[in-house]
């Protein structure tokens, strides 16, 4: 099964506010963009992925991610993450997309083979999700062709997605698909896994700023 991935991204100036323990207002937008660039690069390199659609109103992010090969859908509802994903899902389904998956934009250690493993598991179910490394959130939500995505991201989304009937995926270790980055501790965990080139460069700038 080939998948269309929806990758939602806030305007960079508003993104990653919880990283304030590690990066100031000047550095966080660059980190958020780097996370998204590495996420998109890994997703596009995944054999199970047909295309990647970034959902954003940020002009810089749209330009940079489109240059990598992603399509871009504006966040027309501007009513939060779940509304943005619902809108994008309708847009891409109208263009002929079948299997869909929403993927977090902050997975800088993402490995294409681990993503393929998670998507292969997801293909067995109408809707499925993968919990984040913290065990309370969601990094991947899938919907088979002819099934609605029904995103319920936000606080405690693991519980809400499970209650909605989505099957929780328990594939072989796919740490890179679970390790999203919200805090400094998350960033250190991602760096330990091994991040992509954009995040590595952004993290180096962060270290230089701290000296």
pLDDT at residue 211 tops 50: no
Check residue 66 and give its pLDDT.
98
Check residue 209 and give its pLDDT.
64
Check residue 182 and give its pLDDT.
93
Residues 101 and 143: beta-carbon distance below 8 Å: yes
Nearest to 33 by CA among 210, 201, 209: 201
Q: Report how far residue 179's alpha carbon sits from residue 184's, in angstroms, rounded to the nearest whole number.
A: 12
What is the per-residue pLDDT across 53-94, written as a single tens digit (0 to 9) for each? 999 999 999 999 999 999 999 999 999 999 999 999 999 999
Q: Once rounded to an integer, what is the mean pLDDT over residues 9-25? A: 85
96 annotated among ligand-binding-site residues: no
39 annotated among ligand-binding-site residues: no
Coil, strand or helix: which one is 143? strand
Spatial CB neighbours of 116, under 8 Å, sequence gap ≥ 6: 46, 47, 48
Q: Report how far residue 144's alpha carbon sits from residue 150's, in angstroms, rounded to the nearest whole number.
A: 12
pLDDT at residue 132 tops 50: yes
Query: Domain 3-210 adopts which CATH fold?
Result: Spore Coat Polysaccharide Biosynthesis Protein SpsA; Chain A (3.90.550)
Q: Report how far residue 181's alpha carbon sits from residue 108's, in angstroms, rounded to the nearest whole number.
A: 8
What is the per-residue pLDDT across 94-131, written as a single tens digit (0 to 9) for each? 999 999 999 999 999 999 999 999 999 999 999 999 99
What is the per-residue pLDDT across 166-184, written as a single tens digit (0 to 9) for each? 999 998 899 999 999 999 9
176 annotated among ligand-binding-site residues: no
Share of the chain above pLDDT 70, in %: 98
In 120-191, beta strands by DSSP E:
127-131, 138-143, 167-168
pLDDT at residue 21 tops 80: no
Domain ranges of the chain: 3-210
End-to-end CA distance of the chain: 48
Coil, strand or helix: which one is 77? coil
Check residue 166 and give its pLDDT.
98
Nearest to 6 by CA among 50, 59, 47, 38: 50
Q: Report how far residue 29's alpha carbon sits from residue 123's, in angstroms, rounded to the nearest whole number.
A: 34
pLDDT, averaged across the chain: 95
Q: Report how far residue 66's alpha carbon sits from residue 116's, in angstroms, rounded to the nearest whole number.
A: 22
């Amino acid at each position: 099964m080939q998948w269309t991935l929806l990758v939602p991204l806030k305007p960079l100036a508003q993104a990653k506010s919880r990283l304030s323990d590690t990066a100031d207002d000047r550095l966080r937008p660059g980190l958020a963009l780097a996370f998204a660039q590495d996420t998109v690069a890994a997703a596009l390199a995944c054999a199970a992925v047909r295309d990647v659609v970034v959902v954003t109103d940020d002009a810089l992010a749209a330009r940079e991610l489109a240059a990598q090969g992603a399509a871009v859908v504006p966040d027309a509802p501007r009513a939060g993450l779940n509304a943005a994903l619902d809108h994008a899902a309708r847009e891409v389904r109208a263009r002929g997309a079948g299997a869909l998956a929403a993927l977090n934009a902050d997975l800088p250690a993402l490995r294409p083979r681990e993503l393929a493993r998670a998507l292969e598991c997801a293909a067995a179910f109408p809707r499925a999700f993968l919990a984040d490394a913290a065990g309370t959130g969601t990094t991947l939500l899938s919907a088979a062709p002819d099934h609605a995505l029904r995103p319920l991201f936000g606080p405690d989304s693991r519980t809400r997605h499970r209650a909605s009937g989505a099957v929780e995926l328990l594939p072989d270790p796919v740490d890179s698909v679970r390790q999203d980055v919200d805090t400094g501790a998350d960033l250190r965990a991602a760096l330990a896994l091994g991040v992509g080139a954009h995040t590595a460069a952004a993290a180096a700038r962060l270290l230089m700023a701290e000296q």
